[in-house]
Amino acid sequence: MAKGLPLNRVTNVTVTLSARAAQGRNFGSMLILGNSTVIPIAERLRLYSAPDDIGDDFGVDSEEYKAAVIWFSQSPRPTQVYVGRWVKTLESAETGEPETLLEAVNELMDYNSWYGLHLAVPEVDYPSDADIISVAAAIEAATVSRIFGITTDEADTLVAATTTDLSSKLKAAKYSRTFIQYSTSSRYAALSAFARAFTVDFSASNTTITLKFKQEPGVTYETMTTSQANNLEAKNCNVYVYYENDTAILEQGVMSNGDFFDERHGLDWLQNAVQTADFNTLYTSTTKIPQTDAGTTTRIANIEKVLDQAVDNGLFAPGIWTGGPLGVISTGDTLTKGYYTYAESVDDQLQVDREARKGVPIQVLGKLAGAVHYGTVAITVVR
């Protein structure tokens, strides 16, 4: 066959493959922080998928193993957990300096792989309230969203007049990223609550949950009076408690400032998912997103895919907007989709922002679906 001329003399074709989209964070990722010397300082944390592997590494008498047993006992069962090291003491061959709990947590904040934190240290080594509160403050202020779980058996938590217990201190500081649970049977009751919440798949349909009414396998329920339960509730302290109909439930499923756990968890996912979607809009474009209204529309379209997922998974739902007006939405209007997005025209953008190549701000109004925690039924009977 005769050799012909190459086709690129007539038409030249190139193929450009867009960059692989960035992945969002894992909001089911838990860090159990212990002070065993098993993990080298340079390694700092390890990923495990079964409690027996942790038992092999740390020993079945270790607090890390005991915490892992509670974690993996939940249903649905979590698939993995990180174990981290607080360098409270050094091995004889190790170099370095012992660190405070806060220093350990600050070191571990360099790893974005974990979202939740719970301590697993021997009772004799358990930090003071001041040390715990310093970690709660660090978690609250962190740039990357995280939450902190605490289990307490402090008797004064049940006393209404006492305000020096840890739950009262955390409530007074209004920490929205700290969750505390009262338990006299397990040092890892709050970890069980996190394990249940962290199995939520935000990418699926009707999957969001409330922590109230949930079970804690491996944790013995508390039996208490109504006044004691009310005292815990007043301090925003959660409890796995027995009811007279022979059931036990976790209540109330709140953070130390009174926010519901599922809202904190869901909104952290939403923030990251929207951030990732907007980043990928810019990052995966093989040309550019123009600084025009059409470019803004492209950004909004990808953000609304996440908002649609928030409706699909049950975080958002259609309802009345009770906030201030924005765009075409006024107070009292119905958000028919469960959300509303708004952006001003690029023509109205400040010149200094245009020259800095900033996109116009995109604003979102959202309506949380909430959850029913209490019910009232009125029955009228006639003869």
Mean pLDDT to the nearest integer, 49-60: 97
Torsion angle (degrees, nearest 10) of CA 142, 148, 153, 155 = 40
Structure pTM? 0.94
Whether residue 214 contacts residue 184, with contact meaning beta carbons closer than 8 Å, is answered with: no
* Cα distance between residue 317 and residue 335, in whole Å: 8
Q: What is the pLDDT of the chain when averaged over all its residues?
A: 96
Mean pLDDT to the nearest integer, 227-234: 98
Q: For the segment 120-152, what is each residue's pLDDT rounded down to a tens digit?
A: 999 999 999 999 999 999 999 999 999 999 999
- How much is the pLDDT for 165? 97
Name the strand (E) or helix (H) holding 65. helix 63-72
In the chain, domain spans:
30-265
- How much is the pLDDT for 159? 97
Cis peptide before 291 (omega within 30 of 0): no
Q: For the segment 244-277, what is each residue's pLDDT rounded down to a tens digit?
A: 999 999 999 999 999 999 999 999 999 999 999 9
**What three-state secondary structure class fits 229?**
helix
Q: What are the φ/ψ torsions at residue 369 (nearest 5 degrees)?
A: -75, -30
- How much is the pLDDT for 39? 96
**DSSP of 268-282, one letter per residue?**
HHHHHHHHHHHHHHH
pLDDT at 2 over 80: no
pLDDT at 1 over 80: no
Closest CA to 63 of 88, 99, 42, 97: 88
- How much is the pLDDT for 93? 86
Among the ranges given (21-30, 55-64, 302-311), the one the predictor scored with the smallest mean pLDDT = 21-30
pLDDT at 37 over 70: yes
Mean pLDDT to the nearest integer, 221-247: 97
- How much is the pLDDT for 41? 94
CA–CA distances in Å: residue 166 to residues 86, 136, 226, 297 = 22, 11, 21, 49
- How much is the pLDDT for 96? 87
- Cα–chain-centroid distance for residue 284? 27
